[in-house]
Amino acid sequence: MELLLDSLFNGVAIGSVLLVAALGLAIVFGLMGVINLAHGELMMLGAYTTYVTQLIFKLPILKPFYNSYIIVSIFLAFIVSGVVGILLEKTIIRKLYGSPLETLLATWGVSLILQQFVRSVPLAYGTGLVISLIIGLFLPSTFPSKIKESINFKYFKFSTWLFATLTGVLTGNIISSSVSKLSRASARNVDVTAPSWMRGQVEIIGTAFPKTRLMIIVITLISVIAITLFLNQSAWGMRIRAVTQNRQMSDCLGISTEKVDIITFGIGSGLAGVAGVAVSLLGSVGPNVGGNYIVGCFMVVVLGGVGNLLGTVFASFGIGIMTDLIGAGRLLSIWPDMPLPLSNTINFFATTSMARVMIFALIVIFLQFKPTGLFPQKGRMVEN
Amino acid sequence: MSFSKIKFDKKIVLSFWIILIALIIAAPTLLPVFRLNLLGRYLSLSIVALGVDLIWGYTGLLSLGQGIFFALGGYCAAMYLQITSSSEFPNNIPEFFALYGVEKLPFFWEPFRSPIFTFFAIWIIPALIAGLIGFLVFRNRIKGVYFSILTQASLLVFFNFFNGQQKLINGTNGLKTDVTQLFGQMVGSESMQRIFFWITAILVISAWFFAKWVVKGRFGNILIGIRDDEPRVRFTGYNPVIFKTIIFSIAGGLAGISGALYTVQSGIVSPQFMTVPFSIEMVIWVAVGGRGTLLGAILGAVFINYAKSLVSEALPASWMFIQGGLFILVVTALPEGVLGWIKGDGPRNLLQRFGLKRKIETYPSLEVNNKEGNNE
């Protein structure tokens, strides 16, 4: 019993990381049909945001609030990744709707650029750039429409971008002069240290459980609930679902599909940022951190059934528990006197990387029987 | 197909042939061994690119797992080389086994003592595995992006397996071939490398002819039919599964040959050949060269890799930016690749834009119809 509980906890911990990482992908892939291979790199941006926030909170002015930096960084990571995602949508992905293979290649290119960007641009100036992007993209929409109409829109946009660039350069300079760690570019991995209240372990029903893991589970839980509420209760959520089901009809009924696309992609990317915060708590953060998750995320989405959040939840916890069962060789301790060939096989797969081999192989076999995943979308079509 | 079109195509092909033959004859004498070796490697990569072009350019299957078959071919060649030159090591088995305390050769190494078996294994084993993976996937009508994701997942399965098994195939370290012997000669030696270059050059040309033969005629038409409208092909009475499986295993076999040639010229095969970026890179070679052109795949593979080595020597950090930019550019601006652009209306449009060439005064619809007719 205790063993089962242990396995369940570990599985849920692994699964929650997968879930929070795959959640954004499930939205972007499931609702928009876009294969976003830069999703891992958006997670990386979120992780780096956590790192930058942590260092900024060490400045004398913010030092008293240092313990709450992780909460702040969740929101910041959402905004940073979301804004980069929106920029991506506006410049590249918009041209490629309806051709997922093309989005796959283009976003792979974006992911390479983002990786190299983190390596060769000092983080302080990267922060400055993101701040200018945020201001440039959002400042125009905060002005009342009366002002917008009274002046020439071209000049208006130009001056916002000018202002945004200036602010970005200024903040970049301020950060790079006050935090020396951020003023130089480096390809080395960095570490995010959890605040003191998150260190240590909690005991739940007799099992010690690291607090960071609990935090990740909480982040995941909140993200899932928030996104479900947003999609099912809010007006924009309804519009997103409408566009997913029938783009042309929604367009005819007056839903701005362009706006829906931006919002959907922005939220999906923002969730990647939140996942980045979770990932930064697990280990060191480097330019390649996203690459470790991306294929797993896709497997979760495909296994769960595309366009179905419930399926994503089930699939990620299922994969998490299976990974723990196989990777830690728990089957052997549940059933100690199993026949020799079987136990040899289980021992063979009882490492993290071999467990991955086994899981992926199992998923491929599973898809033989249910090609559309656990919870397929219903419909009668020649092609989906 | 208009008359001028045929002439134009022939001109391209003829000039390509002249350049290629001149290059192959001149290269071993003109280039220093280091550059010759690089060129040989890139030529061998163009064989795997041909395979990608067959499955992606002609059949519309974007595989992100060609690295599996590439590495398998490489491993087959490396295993043979390791085992034939292991006579002076303890137990007559390759040296690295001693590091992990393995005394008996794992069973699957045994057949690789025979050169004939290896010769066939290099392309048959990857082709069989590709056929198996392909059949399982295609049978369920998994296609499009799902196919891509599944091939990528299979790639990771193989990568993790090869990476983790130190005792079977030396894991992360891979198998070295440059200090092994082949027919009494050191594989890494200059004279052997020259021979490998010739072999590669000949194989690239024969692979090109083979690929051309595959896509010619009815079989090629069905492949293009599958790419453009698979349900219609199925409704016409063909079984797309068979055709897709065959072409996927052909591509796998080509990848295997390519991997073996690349391995003997680079001196090592390691699980790094099965990483995700490398397999996606193969796609970009074809995309830049021009998918569905075969020639574009070869040129793309050679030129992009050559550019990569030149740029990486000069500015190591900038290659990732350039490569990323290439991906975006080729998808958004040049969807047919460079060769497709040249073959199509690209140059004429460019000249027209600068006012150097008069616009052809025909009915627009005529032009459009003509263009469509060429694809068939």
Q: How far is CA B336 from CA A238, A308, A358, B330, B341, in A?
A: 38, 34, 39, 8, 6
pLDDT for the residue B2: 41
Instruction: Report yes or no: A104 at the B interface, CB cutoff 8 Å.
Output: yes
B315 by DSSP, 3-state: which? coil
Closest alpha carbon within chain B to A348: B165
User: What are B186-190's contacts with CB under 8 Å, separation 24+?
Assistant: B187/B81, B187/B264, B187/B267, B188/B267, B190/B33
pLDDT for the residue B373: 43
Instruction: Report yes or no: A111 at the B interface, CB cutoff 8 Å.
Output: yes
Q: How far is CA B265 from CA A74, B98, B124, B150, B206, in A?
A: 49, 26, 21, 31, 19
User: What phi, psi does B269 have (nearest 5°)?
Assistant: -125, 135
Instruction: Report yes or no: B309 at the A interface, CB cutoff 8 Å.
Output: no
* Cβ pair B231, B252 in contact under 8 A: no
* Cβ pair B124, B234 in contact under 8 A: no
Q: Which residues of A touch B321 (CB under 8 A)?
A: 112-113, 116
Closest alpha carbon within chain B to A93: B332
Q: Are the beta carbons of A360 and B323 separated by less than 8 Å?
A: no
Identity of the residue numbered B175: L
Closest alpha carbon within chain B to A116: B320
Instruction: Report yes or no: B149 at the A interface, CB cutoff 8 Å.
Output: yes
Q: Which residues of A touch B280 (CB under 8 A)?
A: 105, 108
Residue B186 pairs in a beta bridge with B181
Per-residue exposure over A41-73, b if at least 16 CB sit within 10 Å of its own CB, e if not: bbbbbbbbbbbbbbbbbeeeeeeeeeeebbebb
Per-residue pLDDT of chain B (376 residues; tens, 9 = 90+): 344 444 556 777 788 778 877 877 777 777 777 788 888 889 899 999 999 999 998 998 888 889 999 999 999 988 888 888 777 777 777 777 777 777 777 888 888 888 888 889 888 999 999 999 899 888 887 777 788 888 888 888 888 888 887 777 787 888 887 777 777 677 777 788 888 888 888 898 899 889 989 888 889 999 999 988 888 998 999 999 999 999 999 999 999 999 999 998 888 888 889 888 899 889 889 988 888 888 888 888 988 898 888 888 888 778 888 888 888 888 888 878 788 787 776 667 777 767 666 655 555 445 444 444 444 3
Residues B271 and B275: their CA atoms lie apart, in Å, by 7
Residues A121 and A172: their CA atoms lie apart, in Å, by 11
Q: What is the dihedral of CA A143, A149, A150, A155, to 10 degrees?
A: 80
Instruction: Report yes or no: B152 at the A interface, CB cutoff 8 Å.
Output: yes
| CB-closest option in A102, A298, A354 to B331 | A102
Structure-token pair, residue A155: 């000049």
Structure-token pair, residue B340: 């497709």
Q: Are the beta carbons of A367 and B284 separated by less than 8 Å?
A: no
Q: Which residues of B touch A116 (CB under 8 A)?
A: 317, 320-321, 324
Q: Are the beta carbons of B152 and A295 separated by less than 8 Å?
A: yes
* pLDDT, block means (10 residues), chain A with 384 residues: 73 86 86 85 92 86 80 91 91 83 88 89 84 82 72 75 86 80 76 78 74 86 91 90 84 89 91 90 84 84 81 89 79 70 74 80 81 69 45
Q: Which of B200, B211, B241 is nearest to B53 (CA)?
A: B211
Q: Which of B40, B54, B38 is nearest to B258 (CA)?
A: B40
| CB-closest option in B144, B150, B328 to A100 | B144
Instruction: Report yes or no: A208 at the B interface, CB cutoff 8 Å.
Output: no
Q: Which residues of A touch B162 (CB under 8 A)?
A: none
Q: How many C-beta neighbours within 10 Å does residue B308 have? A: 15
pLDDT for the residue B357: 63
* Cβ pair B253, B126 in contact under 8 A: yes
Residues A15 and A22: their CA atoms lie apart, in Å, by 10
Instruction: Report yes or no: A368 at the B interface, CB cutoff 8 Å.
Output: yes
Q: Which DSSP state fits A209?
A: E
Q: How far is CA A76 from CA A49, A89, B343, in A?
A: 7, 20, 49
Mutant choice from B59, B139, B159, B160 vs A, greatest count of A C-beta within 10 A: B160
User: What phi, psi does B229 have (nearest 5°)?
Assistant: -160, 90
pLDDT for the residue B360: 58
B115 contacts: CB under 8 Å, gap ≥ 6: B80, B84
Burial class (CB in 10 A: 0-12, 13-18, 19+), B301: buried
Interface ipTM above 0.90: no
Instruction: Report yes or no: B166 at the A interface, CB cutoff 8 Å.
Output: no
* Cβ pair A102, A96 in contact under 8 A: yes
What would the pLDDT profile of B5-49 be if each residue is shown by its tens digit?
Answer: 445 567 777 887 788 778 777 777 777 777 888 888 898 999 999
Instruction: Report yes or no: A229 at the B interface, CB cutoff 8 Å.
Output: no
* Cβ pair A36, A294 in contact under 8 A: no
Closest alpha carbon within chain B to A351: B164
- pTM for the predicted model, two decimal places: 0.85
Instruction: Report yes or no: A354 at the B interface, CB cutoff 8 Å.
Output: yes
H/E element, B259: helix B240-266
* Shortest CA gap B333–chain A (Å): 10
Instruction: Report yes or no: B233 at the A interface, CB cutoff 8 Å.
Output: no
User: What are A53-57's contacts with CB under 8 Å, separation 24+?
Assistant: A54/A192, A54/A193, A55/A179, A55/A181, A55/A182, A56/A175, A56/A179
Q: How many C-beta neighbours within 10 Å does residue A158 have? A: 11
Instruction: Report yes or no: B331 at the A interface, CB cutoff 8 Å.
Output: yes
pLDDT for the residue B95: 76
Q: How are the residues of chain B apportioned to helix, strand and coil, as percentages rounded to the nearest 5?
A: 75, 0, 20
Instruction: Please state the separation of Cα A145 from the chain's center in Å.
Output: 34
